Amino acid sequence: MKLFITGGTGFIGSHFINAAHSAGHELVCIKRQSSTPRINLNKEPTWVYGNLDDEFDSDLFKDVDVFVHLAAHSANAPYDSLEKCLYWNQTASLKLFNIAYNAGIDRFLVAGSCFEYGRSGERYEFIPSDASLEPTMTYPASKASAFCTFYAWSVLNNIRLKYLRIFQVFGNGEAENRFWPSLRKAALNGDDFRMTKGEQIRDFIPVQQVAEQLNSNLDFNYSFTKNPIIKNIGTGIPTSLSDFACYWWKKFNAAGEIIFGALPYRDNEIMRYVPMIND
């Protein structure tokens, strides 16, 4: 199978490239000139240099079977402005989707975010994939808006769309300012680690598992309906941030201490995100 991939140098994208190559797929990946993969790749894809909003030639999509959209603007806090998040995550992405569609691609696999659920997440013990989207921050709001746009676009154009909302992914290649890499750095350096009380409940999923689940969803050989397929990608196992921190602190044989309550919770932080896993 031939795949066209955005976000291939990103955290999840780099791991997906390795998983897709291991599965025997042919990969064409768009990247900015200055970007590099977050991990070592077992095999280089065919790189195409540019931005999402460039005027790409339709020949770029020749013989492509599935468009895999993993690119995301400002996915890590502190988030960019709502205007910029909306432009890159919705407007520019849709422009590239249309170029691919006009070139003959009708199968799209798109990565979303659990944070699109926002406040509705706290009303569920396990969030169903059809829960209302009530984001409270700029990046999640742009992803929720993009989802609505892509949903309507796929229905209007009879496109097969799979939209996968990824929960609390972690692992090698993750941005250094995120929780797990920060915890690991402090542990390996023998430092203390300052964090919130850790009462947030999340579904932590290793990035390798996310890459494998994305790879397993490349199969579009199902009875076509006009309704896009929406899935949650996670383990379905609730874990508090404090328990997660303690587990890895011990795993890293840390000499320092975790100082709970040293940091405040973020403004508008949602305290529970745990998905209902649907096949």
Reported pTM: 0.95
Name the residue ranges covered by the structural domains of the chain.
2-170+205-233
**3 close to 28: Cβ distance less than 8 angstroms:** yes
Distance separating alpha carbons of residues 227 and 152, to the nearest angstrom: 10
Could you please report the per-residue DSSP string of 250-273?
HHTT-SS-EETTSSPPPTT--SB-
Distance separating alpha carbons of residues 103 and 145, to the nearest angstrom: 25
Distance separating alpha carbons of residues 4 and 242, to the nearest angstrom: 39
Structure tokens at 229: 């397929």
Do strands 66-69 and 107-113 pair parallel, antiparallel, or not at all (unpaired)? parallel
Question: In the 8-state DSSP scheme, what is residue 90?
Answer: I
pLDDT of residue 92: 98
276: nearest Cα among 244, 232, 240, 245:
232
Tell the CATH topology of 2-170+205-233.
Rossmann fold (3.40.50)
Structure tokens at 162: 């799979």
Structure tokens at 68: 């895999």
Q: What are phi and psi of 72, to 5 degrees?
A: -150, 130
Distance separating alpha carbons of residues 249 and 258, to the nearest angstrom: 8
Helix axes 11-22, 207-216, angle to 10 degrees: 50
Question: In the 8-state DSSP scheme, what is residue 116?
Answer: G
pLDDT of residue 279: 58
pLDDT of residue 278: 74
pLDDT of residue 224: 62
Give Cα 249 distance to the centre of its chain.
25
Task: List the end-to-end C-alpha distance of the chain, in Å, as a whole number.
Answer: 22
Residue found under tokens 């000139």: 33
What are the residue ranges in the chain where pLDDT is below 50? none
